[in-house]
Amino acid sequence: MFENNLSYAQQQDQQDFLKSYREQFLIPTNETGEKLVYLCGNSLGLQPKKTSEYLQQELNDWAKFGVEGHTDAENPWLPYHESLTNSMAKIVGAKPSEVIIMNSLTANLHFMMVSFYQPTKTKYKIVIESDAFPSDKYAVESQIKFHGFNPNDGLILWKPREGEELCRFEDLEEIMKEQGDEIALVMIGNTNYYTGQSFPLKKITHLGHQHNCMVGFDLAHGAGNIQPNLHESGADFAVWCTYKYLNSGPGSLGGCFVHERHANNPDLNRFTGWWGHNKQTRFNMRHDFDALSGAEGWQLSNPAILSMAAIRASLDIFEEAGFENIRTKSKKLTGYLEFLVNELNDERINIITPKNPDERGCQLSIQVKNADKKLHTQLTEAGVISDWREPDVIRVAPAPLYNSFVDVYKFVERLEKILS
Ligand SMILES: *Cc1c(COP(=O)(O)O)cnc(C)c1O
């Protein structure tokens, strides 16, 4: 179905129904002004050209109105987050009342665990995937300790089998069958940052709930990449960041999902702040805490408007392009990458990401046997921005909004040259 030549890649770009979006991003260049092959949107997404305008609007309104900008700005700051909710809800497949943009990712994970990890003496363990992102593992371990348990016993790793790289659902079933009574929370990183494996959210949630566990997902590598259909999955909570596939700038605010069944759940602990309080009486200052219904009720602080402006610039692009279209292109673009890498016919190369497009996002994790970090340096020198993970894996993530078929072609061509 694909062809291994540059003119084919160029032709695919010509026919690409999302081709105009590449022009809407600032793509880093080398010293001679040539665009780099940027395949690192899994780490930091590129800047939309419109972002500076959106930021400037808020700077201007701050200059013009000072504190009155909360109500008088072009986009008043008090309800600013509400303007992001609908678009974000579509991207993660949730109802608007289930989604809130606030804090940062690891902070949100902790706040969600305050509510959804309420261990008892006998049911206190947490399951994560064995190659979880380090921050998630630290957060989970520290929560286990905080509640007076020992992570050596309280943390269960869902591991790939000996000689395999991917986690099998049957093995999670086995863990649940054996230890489900002791497990309080299943918290899985979806899509896995290392292998690119995207886990079946609905199946995992169902399995966890059968054993009376809470189930949450970290969608740092999922949001803006795959469609997690959070509401339908039934997950209790999810967290994500917006600076990877959601292109909203380094360290930008995170997102949070709380399933509507918990919208007003009085049984959940929660750490609170004034921004989670009833909007009508928030400024009366002396009231007892009166939580907003839904995800909004988990807010703590008045949010960073400048960061939200950047998120808004990005979400407007997603809204216009349509997430289904983005996903359709993504499957094809990553399929092309896979095809070209396989065409190299190099025995040292093994793609560890699942072959089934429904079990992965845009990223491919390419293992190169006996390679070391020098390979990554050489790729960088050849104008390819990718990322490296010890001992021998290059991760490349063609982002459908700004990467092209020619980008993918150039990457594989340069990789081949370096390997030969
Ligand atoms: C990127 C990433 C993080 C980073 O956390 P921050 O709190 O945003 O610094 C955490 N977990 C996962 C799974 C990630 O991919």
Query: DSSP characters for 126-175?
Result: EEEETT--HHHHHHHHHHHHHTT--HHHHEEEE---TT--SPPHHHHHHH
Residue nearest ligand 1's atom 15 by CA = 220
Q: Which domains are present in the chain?
A: 6-35+323-419 (3.90.1150.10), 56-319 (3.40.640.10)
What six digits make up the tokens of 193?
């940052």
Nearest to 201 by CA among 190, 212, 210: 190
Q: In the block, which residue shows the tokens 């996903």?
A: 327
Alpha-carbon gap, residue 375 to 418, rounded angstroms: 7
**Residue 337 in this model has a pLDDT that exceeds 80:** yes
Q: What is the pLDDT of residues 242-261, one digit of tens each?
A: 999 999 999 999 999 999 99
- Ligand 1: residues with CB < 6 A are 104-106, 133, 135-136, 189, 193, 218, 220-221, 241
Mean of pLDDT values over 68-78:
97
Q: Where are the beta strands (DSSP E) in 13-140?
A: 25-26, 37-38, 47-48, 99-102, 125-129
- What pLDDT is attached to residue 121? 97
- What pLDDT is attached to residue 1? 87
Ligand 1 atom closest to Cα of residue 133: 13
Residue nearest ligand 1's atom 13 by CA = 133
Ligand 1 atom closest to Cα of residue 221: 15
| Predicted confidence band of residue 362 (pLDDT cuts 50, 70, 90) | very high
Alpha-carbon gap, residue 24 to 321, rounded angstroms: 12
Alpha-carbon gap, residue 340 to 412, rounded angstroms: 7
What six digits make up the tokens of 207?
């399995």
Report CA(51)–ligand 1 centroid distance (Å). 22
Q: What is the pLDDT of residues 172-203, one digit of tens each?
A: 999 999 999 999 999 999 999 999 999 999 99
Ligand 1 atom closest to Cα of residue 243: 8
- What pLDDT is attached to residue 283? 86
Report CA(400)–ligand 1 centroid distance (Å). 21
Report CA(70)–ligand 1 centroid distance (Å). 30
Whether 305 contacts 333, CB under 8 Å: no
- What pLDDT is attached to residue 6? 98
CB atoms within 10 A of CB 241: 23
Residue to mutate (ligand 1; options 135, 225, 387; most atoms within 8 A of CB): 135
Ligand 1 atom closest to Cα of residue 132: 13
From the number of C-beta atoms within 10 Å of its C-beta (0-12, 13-18, 19+), residue 128 rates as buried
Alpha-carbon gap, residue 355 to 167, rounded angstroms: 14
Report CA(220)–ligand 1 centroid distance (Å). 6
CB neighbour list of residue 222: distance below 8 Å, 6 or more residues apart: 190, 191, 198, 228, 240, 361
Ligand 1 atom closest to Cα of residue 109: 7
Ligand 1 atom closest to Cα of residue 220: 15
Q: In the block, which residue shows the tokens 């997603």?
A: 318
Residue nearest ligand 1's atom 1 by CA = 220
- What pLDDT is attached to residue 287? 75
Single-letter residue type at 80: Y
Exposure pattern of 180-208 as b/e (b: 16+ CB <10 Å)? bebbbbbbbbbbbbbbbbbbebeebbebb
Residue nearest ligand 1's atom 8 by CA = 105
What six digits make up the tokens of 275?
């921004």
Single-letter residue type at 55: L
Residue to mutate (ligand 1; options 193, 195, 225; most atoms within 8 A of CB): 193
SS3 410: helix
pTM value is 0.96
Q: What is the pLDDT of residues 124-153, one digit of tens each?
A: 999 999 989 999 999 999 999 999 999 999
- What pLDDT is attached to residue 352? 97
- What pLDDT is attached to residue 288? 87
**Residue 31 in this model has a pLDDT that exceeds 80:** yes
Q: What is the pLDDT of residues 280-335, one digit of tens each?
A: 888 887 778 999 999 999 999 999 999 999 999 999 999 999 999 999 999 999 99
Residue to mutate (ligand 1; options 111, 141, 193, 241; most atoms within 8 A of CB): 241
Nearest to 117 by CA among 210, 185, 167: 185
SS3 259: coil
From the number of C-beta atoms within 10 Å of its C-beta (0-12, 13-18, 19+), residue 23 rates as exposed
Report CA(347)–ligand 1 centroid distance (Å). 33
Per-chain mean pLDDT for the chain: 97
- What pLDDT is attached to residue 280? 87
Report CA(188)–ligand 1 centroid distance (Å). 13
Report CA(286)–ligand 1 centroid distance (Å). 36
Rg over CA atoms, the chain? 22
Mean of pLDDT values over 210-225:
98
Total residues found in the chain within this entry? 420
- What pLDDT is attached to residue 119? 98
Residue nearest ligand 1's atom 10 by CA = 135
Report CA(133)–ligand 1 centroid distance (Å). 7
**Residue 336 in this model has a pLDDT that exceeds 80:** yes
